[in-house]
Each structure stands twice: as structure tokens, then as C-alpha cells.
Chains A and B, each alone.
Chain A
């Protein structure tokens, strides 16, 4: 097992490095450049040249990459001139808020989607299954900006019971102290995730219910509840574990669009701002973070497999 993890981490390191190379090249292929984006359309060529020189953007791209990489090795993700803050402190400020949002929505989604999927599988092709399937497809097909806006219209405009916007504070305590502001963004994300997870859970349970070991359990005299909870549930959760591992990057990167709709000051919004102003250090910093989290997420998914399924042993 340790051998497996070590090997996987070494592979991951290479993957992350490759990701940074690709992102670096893509960023420098963008037209306009950070100077134009940050200094404004009226900036003089001299101002732009001096900005570029000051930031080191006038040097060859491989040299810039090397400098950035050596900085990264010392733990420095760079400095954002427009925020006048280091990228690390920007991320440190935004990440907890995003985590609150995404983790809450995932927990809510799991808590609803797993029982829902089981219910659908047990009552498959009955009215309940059709109704849930219908709504799952509706939410699955709804873009988050539309769903978010509909929720705002219903719950903030017509029945003004919930705020349309998240608290605009830099501090996490403030956000937690006004949980009302979290309800709509969490609900938006959770509804979309439930739609996805419940489909997986449904098909996974249906598949397992048809397995021979379920018939064996019934032949022992086990009732439906025992069959579902003792036998089918654990086997059915295996694919969900993969799904969770693979959604780890989303948990960290935040929901770009949902955060924008609710003006939620999280990672997604930070990336959105950085992209508009071509703020290289922020975009690179977030990309590296997401890259790391992505490979860790898939590693965790594989490890969860080994925990849930005794047949899987890594060598």
C-alpha cells in the first residue's frame, strides 16, 4: 500500500508539473496581456513597457516559467499587483469560504441523493421513480446560473424570506454568523449534485440488487431492509466514492458561476476576476492548487475503493 501511494504521488508530481507548463503557455498565448488589462485601455506604450519590465513579463517565457517554478519550490505563489496582496494570502482568505459552501452542499447532496437513489432502485419503474427521475433530469439539465436566478426570484423577490446575496465579508466568522445567506447558494449547488448522484446511486443499487449474493441473502431469510442495509448499500457506494474523489477539485475551486450569481466572495469569484484582468500569478496559483487537489482526489478515490472493496488491493 505505501509503495502504491508513493508511486502515485511521484506520478502526480509529474502531472502537476505538466499542468503548470500547459497553463503557462496558454496564459502567454492570450491576446492583450496583463498590462493592457490592468492598466486600462488608455495606458501609454511606455507605461505598458515599464509595467511589463517591472513584472518580468518582457523576458522569454521559459525564463519566466523557471523563475515562477523556483519561487513555487520555496512556497511562494507570487504577488498580485491589482489586489496588492500575495497570492497565498488571497487564497487563504477565499478558500475557507468556498469550502464552507461546497462541503455543505456536498454533504447535503449525499444525505439526500443516497436514500433517494435507493428508494428509486427499490421502487424502480413505479410512479415515485418516474417522478424523481423527471426532476433529476430537470435539475441535471438546468444551468446553475439559471437555477440560481430562479431561486433568487422565488425566495428573495416574491417571498422575500432569504437574502439574494452572501455576506460580503472578508472573514469567515461573519459568513457563518449569517447562515441565511448561505442557504440559496448551497441549495443551488446541492440540487445540481443531487440530480447527478441520485442517478448513479439508483443504477448502482439496481445493479447490486440483481447480484447473486442478494439472492443468497434472501435465501437465508433476510428481509428487504437487511438486504439493503447490510448487503447492497456498501457494494453500491463504491462508484459513489469515485465520484466524490473526482469532485474534490470542484470543492476547492469553488463554483465559478454559482459564486458569481450570488456574489459569494470565494475562490470561483477570485478566479473570475483574475481571468478578466489576466492576473497571471493568481490564475497560476489557483491552477496549481486545483491540479494538486485533482490528483489527490483521484488518489483518495482509489484508496476509498480499497477500503470499501476488500477485493481491491494495490501493489
Chain B
């Protein structure tokens, strides 16, 4: 095995006006030819800075202050800038997190890929373009030759990420660094991209460094893992070994925080606190403050990373097979036949598309939500899943009457809310509230937290000023924020804390229903666990009903009593959460489950390779018949002609709309007699 890159005792500093941050302090690893190393950890633990140190592309103020990085025989730390430029893009390629922003919007993709070639090879423009077309084809961009002159905005996120990969590969690099390459993508696309990187690694015999926060991604796509925390590697070993037998308490905590490893009380393990401030790291073991096993020794002295093949830095490592085995998912009580709080009937939302003429005639419609019906019982959690663009967020806006449906009805607590004017709706608005995805963009940066939480009360004229202030203090207590937060601004809080503020705001009017649109997608797994636990506690306390929207089926399965699966505006499958997850009926649901990366290398490798192929078609002219047929492995001629009806698959209300379901439906008559009809 030839080492491609060897990092020894790397130290990187970033000088900021308020002091020096040390995001990488003493990191060492080697990646061999054809091998893939995963670097995993929470955000802010130095993963990305390690990757950028190798590229020598640190942000302003960043500097490598110690250690060495050897790329084959070249020392990258000592290299001058001109030399580094010759290495970047030629011998080391890099893929970034967000394909939406990492391409130049004003340059065609052909030019952007050929630029790499032109920078490093003495070739003509035509040759560079030929090579670009070849690489774009290699990364699986359909019709690569014809697409050379497309601008990035014409491509979907997954296709853009393929272009970014093509740019990184254009000069056959020895090392490919992928920094969270799929975090911004849908699970179905994530699977495709990760498989592409795997495939390219084998074919081109490259070394790969895969930086991610997701243990599931690491499990299926790496040979070795390095777990980073607060700028240091805490544990490193071959991937199967680490997953079978994590020794460091931090690694264990990352596993336990995953929703599929929820305890028998369905409470998630949340790592307490936050990673330390890296401008003034604590003495001793950096994880000690958050570690359940920490002793005085840990706080006084720093453990060394020891061990050959499986190394870890801990005075009190977990014994072999000592860690809590993942609990088998506890079967939830099937959804109680509670009185329905929310009834959605034949909901349709179309957005008109107008012509380019003078009169702008309506020439078509984007069918965002097409005939969706479901019922949510009181105090239930209804989980809505699907890829981006399937209409989940449109439904969330319709449910809280922030948008008006084209047709269909929404009944909330016995009152029809569709067709009511804003004035009439005002008195009901306090009963249904929205919680948003992005904790950074959804809070007004110029308002103090106190005013943010009080605003809903002021708008709805709830109580006197004193009552309102007391209510705000109570809200802060409930979501676990200190009272000092009242006078602070949103930017003073971390992502998780902001999401607590968002939850408190949604709770302010004591609603019956909270529609949470991707509430934990922007959070780290440890913080995600804290927010999910909090949402569960508040649900019990305030008898809340949730509509929980997410693209992440494993999170939805954990929180929801009922799951609805949406595809391109249609509800394709609905039923009790465990039934939908463990015995899906619709090929799309099956495919979605197959795309979830499992934090278990054996199961991950055994798992069906199927997933969901291709990309979501346009909602402007959705496929006829069954909308999923263009990506469905079981599709037949019938699927193109006839739209499948919702059929029952269990007496508990598991239903799906498919002509070729994975098992046969139960006879209609049985279901009608034995169970109350659940839509």
C-alpha cells in the first residue's frame, strides 16, 4: 500500500480580531492509494479546517503553525503558493458542501470544467473541452456533450454536484477531498453521489478523504474512520471495527444520539452542552466537560491517542462490547383512534405558469399538491416525508392558512378554514403555528429574543403587558433557555438554541397544532436529539399535535405516530409509522428507506442497492397515471394510463396508491368492517 497523503501532528490556527482559534491541534493520519478515510464529528470540531489545511485554502487569518502534510514525496506545508496552485486541481481535487453555490453562476459548466484542464495541462481550448465532456460523462451527467454550454442554474442540485466532482477529477488527482459532499442533497441523490464517489475511487485508484457529520455516510463508504472533536482525533480505526466496537465515549455518544438508537422510553441520548471554545480549549481531555465517564484525571491531564490499528485517546475507554447495544425500535402503540384535529380533503395547490407574451396568458400550472387527503388525530404526530420538491412545504403553508389551496378543504378542530378571509382567520391563527427549518434565517436579527417571543401575544392581544412578560419568561423556562436570553439578540445563540427560540415562538399562543417544517435538518445529530426530546416533552405537557415535515425518514419514524409519504404532489403511502417503515408497500417508500445511510457497515453493505434512481421529474407536466412510474422499477404500461387509487393494506389504516404494491392489499370489505375508515 502506497501512502498518498500523510498528515503528521498538524496544527492550524486562525487569527481573528478577538483572539486566535485553534481548530486543528495535533491531527495525524495517512490515506493510501485507493483507500477512503472518513473524518466525522460535530460542526465546529475542525473537520473542514483539516481538509482545507491540506489544500492550503484556509480562510483569512488561517495558518498552519505546526506539523507536516506529505503528498507522496512533496511537503505541502513548506510549498510556496505557486507550487500549491500547481497541486490544487491537478494532484488534489476537492468537492464542497453546497453545489448550489460552489459553481460560478455566470460561466457555462463546460468552461468551468475545462478551466481545471487549461490551468494544469498544455492543451488547446478544444482539447480541454473534449476532456471536460469526457469527465462530465464519467460522473454520470446525462447528455454531457449537449450540456457543456448550460449554465449551472439549469441543473438540479445533484447534477451540479456531479459537475463539481467533474471539475475535481478533470486532471486525474491522486487525492480527492470531499467536504460534506451530500449534506445539502436529498437522501435519494445522496446515495447516488456517494456511490459515484465510491465507484470513481475504485476505477481511478484514488485516495479519498470524506468529511461528514453523518455516521451513516461513513459506515457505507469508507475504509477507515477518524472521529474528531475540538480539533483532535479522539478515535481512529478501520470502519467495521469502529462501528462494531467504539471505545471512545464521544464516538459512543454520537451513535446513541441517532434517532434509530432511541432508548426504550423513546428518549434520545443527547450529548449535554456544546463543543468547547477553540480559542481557549480546556485543559485535560477536551471532551471531559460533556462526558458521562469523566473523572478528575480527565480534567487534569490530556490522554494520548494510543493503539495501532484501533487508536483512541481516553483514560476510561469503553470495554469491548460494553457499549449499549442499539435498542430494537420499540413498537409504538398504533395511533390511538383519537378525535381528528385536522382533516385534509382532496387538497390541491397549483401555481400558474404564464406565457411570455404581452398578455401573460396562463399556459400551464405547476402541480405542487395534487389531491391529498389525510387526517391527524389530536395529540398525534403526523410525519410527512418526501424528496425536496414533492410539495411538503406547500402543504405546511396551506395547513397554517399562510396560502390558499386551489381546491379541497382543510378542517381544523371542526372548523373549515379554507375559504375564510384573513379577518375571520385571525381568531383561529393562535391555534395552529409554524416552526421553521432554518434557525438562522427565521428569526429577525434586529429583535431581542424577548420581543420575538412577545410579538405573537401582542398581535393577538393576549393579556396585559405584565401577563405577556410573564408568559415569555415561562416560555424560556419551558424550552430550557436562561432568562438572560430575554435581552439578547438571535446571533448570540447557537443553532440549537435558536431552534429552541423558534419552538418557544410557536408555543407562545398555546396552539393545538404545530406544523414543523424540517425543524432539525440544519442541526448536528447531538443537538437534533436535544430538540427532538424537547418537542416530545412539550407535546406531552401541552397535549400538542404535530405535523412534522422532513426529508429524513429515520427522524420521522422516530417522532411520528403516522407517516405520510409524498411524491411529486401526491400522497403515495400513509399508515402507522412502524408499519410504513418496516413493511412499506409502495416501491417509492421502499426506495426511500433503502437510501437512508445506516450507521452499521455490515447492514449498509448488505442493504439493497436499489434506492431511488434518477431525479424528480418536473411538476409542471407530471407523468401521466402514477407519477412515480418514471423512476419505478415495477412500472408497467398500466401505470402510465391509470392513476392508482389508495387501497388499504392493514386494518390499522396502512394505505398506499400503487398498481404493483410490494404485497397485496387487504380486501376492501374487511377493512370497512373492522376499522374506522382512516383516510
Contacts and interface: CB of A to CB of B under 8 A. Distances in A.
Nearest to A238: B106
Contacts of B354: 315
Contact of B115 (A2, A4, A222, A234): A222
Contacts of A311: 105, 151, 153
B649 interface: no
Contacts of B102: 212-213, 215-216
Contacts, number: 87
A207 interface: no
Name the residue in A213, A216, A223 with the highest tally of chain B Cβ atoms < 10 Å from its Cβ: A216
- Which of A212, A219, A230, A308 has the most B CB atoms < 10 Å from its CB? A219
Contacts of A226: 119
Interface in B346-361: 354-358, 360
Contacts of A234: 106
A220 B355 contact: no
Given A230-B115, A234-B106, A311-B105, A220 B89 contact: yes
Contacts of A217: 104, 115
A141 interface: no
Interface string B392-415: 000000000000000000000000
B451 to A, nearest CB: 30
A10 interface: yes
A212 B107 contact: no
B571 interface: no
B594 interface: no
A123 interface: no
Interface stretch (B29-37, B80-88, B519-527, B581-589): B80-88
Given A7-B358, A223-B85, A212 B115 contact: no
A226 B90 CA distance: 16
B101 A219 contact: no
A219 B105 contact: no
Interface in A189-224: 211-213, 215-223
B119 A220 contact: yes
Interface in B423-456: none
Contacts of A235: 104-106
B55 A219 contact: yes
Contact of A310 (B55, B106, B120, B356): B106
Contacts of A213: 101-105
A302 to B, nearest CB: 15
Given A219-B93, A222-B85, A3 B357 contact: yes
A298 to B, nearest CB: 19
A276 interface: no
A309 interface: yes
B358 A10 contact: yes
B577 interface: no
Interface in A157-203: none
A227 to B, nearest CB: 10
A54 interface: no
B662 interface: no
A29 interface: no
B357 A221 contact: no
Nearest to A308: B106
B168 interface: yes
A263 B277 CA distance: 65
Interface string A40-73: 0000000000000000000000000000000000
Interface in B137-192: 151, 153, 164, 167-168
Contact of A221 (B86, B101, B106, B153): B86
Contacts of A222: 85, 89, 115, 119
A4 B356 contact: yes
B600 interface: no
B98 interface: yes
Contacts of B167: 216, 220
Contacts of A230: 107, 115
**Counting chain A CB atoms within 10 Å of each CB, which of B94, B103, B105 scores highest?**
B105
A233 to B, nearest CB: 10
Interface string A6-28: 11001000000000000000000
Contacts of A6: 358
Nearest to A226: B119
Contacts of B107: 230-231
A215 B357 contact: no
A107 to B, nearest CB: 24
Given A226-B119, A311-B105, A221 B87 contact: yes
Interface string B614-651: 00000000000000000000000000000000000000
B101 A211 contact: yes
Contacts of B104: 213, 216-217, 231, 235
A6 to B, nearest CB: 5
Contacts of A127: none
Given A212-B98, A216-B102, A220-B88, A310 B116 contact: no
A10 B357 CA distance: 13
Contacts of A308: 106
Nearest to B357: A3
Nearest to A216: B102
B260 to A, nearest CB: 32
Contacts of B610: none
Contacts of B360: 3, 7
A229 interface: no
B61 to A, nearest CB: 12
B445 to A, nearest CB: 18
Nearest to A234: B106
Contacts of A7: 358, 360
Contacts of B151: 310-311
A199 B107 CA distance: 25
Interface string B99-117: 0011111110000000110
A28 to B, nearest CB: 36
Given A10-B358, A308-B106, A221 B96 contact: no
A150 to B, nearest CB: 38
A221 B57 contact: no
Contacts of B164: 216
A4 B355 CA distance: 10
Contact of B103 (A4, A216, A218, A309): A216
Interface in B530-582: none
A218 B92 CA distance: 12
A3 B98 CA distance: 35
A97 to B, nearest CB: 38
A12 to B, nearest CB: 14
A262 B58 CA distance: 53
A221 B89 contact: yes
B162 to A, nearest CB: 14
A234 B153 CA distance: 16
19 contacts: A3-B358, A10-B358, A212-B98, A213-B102, A213-B105, A215-B102, A216-B102, A216-B104, A217-B115, A219-B96, A220-B167, A221-B86, A221-B89, A221-B116, A222-B85, A222-B119, A230-B107, A234-B106, A235-B106
Q: Which 9 A-B pairs have the closest CB atoms?
A: A221-B89, A220-B89, A310-B151, A212-B101, A221-B88, A3-B356, A212-B102, A213-B104, A219-B94
Given A216-B103, A223-B85, 7 more contacts: A1-B356, A3-B358, A6-B358, A212-B98, A221-B85, A310-B105, A314-B356
Interface of B: 55, 57, 82, 85-90, 93-94, 96, 98, 101-107, 115-116, 119-120, 151, 153, 164, 167-168, 354-358, 360
